[in-house]
Amino acid sequence: YYHPKKGLSPHSTGVPFEGFAKYWLSDRFVFGGWIEHTKGWRREYQQHLSSCDEEKKNMIWLSYEELVDNPLDSIQRIATFIGVDTTADSALVQRVAEGCKFDNVREKAQASLDGGAEGFIDHLRSGKVGDWRNHFGPELFAEFGGAIKAELRGAGMELVYDIGDGETWAIDEEGS
């Protein structure tokens, strides 16, 4: 909704958030909607894991919530996945975690813009897990949550999604 490119952003063109949210959820969206997009990538990931040897695995499944909740473990997992040996520099993972903190990313992006770089940083809103919920009224939130849970139930994927205010949506591989 807050795409940084003016004219492409529904926000910048006056499309109401509620209308965009419903469209984004639907299968009419350009990428097939978030649910189908997520299910498709998860299927690819699971097929990949089951079809190749350990040394040929070239996909990683990591959520934003995992990155925020466990940044050091997540960064170590990424480093291992891409073949970076962090044992030679015991502070490397910590430095990466510090550099990736939302406020630091936003500050560096703004400094780049101030230094003459072209671009937008409007999409760097708060960096808070579950902040999206603040943009939803109660009816839209209930509709959105119901659709996501119904569509992902039985999809053979595990999803734990922090929806803010200490609440999570959890769907296990069987869909309960």
> pLDDT tens digit string along 98-128?
999 999 999 999 999 999 998 878 778 788 8
Asked whether residue 164 carries a pLDDT value surpassing 90, the answer given is no
pLDDT band at 175 (very low <50, low <70, confident <90, very high): very low
| pLDDT, average across residues 69-81 | 94
- C-alpha span between 125 and 9 (Å, rounded): 14
Type of residue found at 115: G
Cβ atoms of 146 and 139 closer than 8 Å: no
Q: What is the pTM of this model?
A: 0.74
The reported pLDDT for the residue numbered 111 is 94
